[in-house]
Amino acid sequence: MSVFRAVGLLIAIMLIGLAMVDLRHMTAQHAHQVHKLYRKRTALQRQLWQSRLELTALRSPRQIQQRVSKLGLQMIYPGRQTVEPAGGSGIIDNTSDQAGGVTDRRQ
C-alpha cells in the first residue's frame, strides 16, 4: 500500500467519524426538541381540558341564573318572546302579542 493510499484512507475514516459524530449530535438535538414539544403539547392539552371544564360549568343553567340575578337582569326564556319586524321599535315584548309582530310559539 502506498503512502498516498494510506493517507487517503486515514482522511476518509476521519471524515466518516466526524460525520457520525455530527449525526449523533443532530439526533440528540432533535430528540431534545421532540421531548420539549411533547411536554408543551401535554401542557396545552391539560389547559384545553381545564378550559372545557370551566366552559361547561359556565354554561350550566344554574350558573347562568346566578350570573343573571347577580347582574340584576331579568331572565327571558326561549320561546316566550315577541319580536317586532325591522320597521318597528326593536323592543322585545314578552308579555303580549302585538299586531304585526312575529311570535315564536315553540314549546
pLDDT in tens, 7-35: 999 999 999 999 999 999 999 999 999 99
Alpha-carbon distance 66 to 52, whole Å?
20
Model pTM score: 0.50
Confidence of residue 77 (pLDDT cuts 50, 70, 90): confident
Q: Are 77 and 92 in contact (CB under 8 A)?
A: no
What pLDDT score does 53 carry?
A: 95
Average pLDDT (57-65) is 90
Q: C-alpha grid cell for residue 73?
A: 337582569
Across the chain, mean pLDDT equals 83
Q: Which of 84, 60, 83, 65 is nearest to 75 (CA)?
A: 65
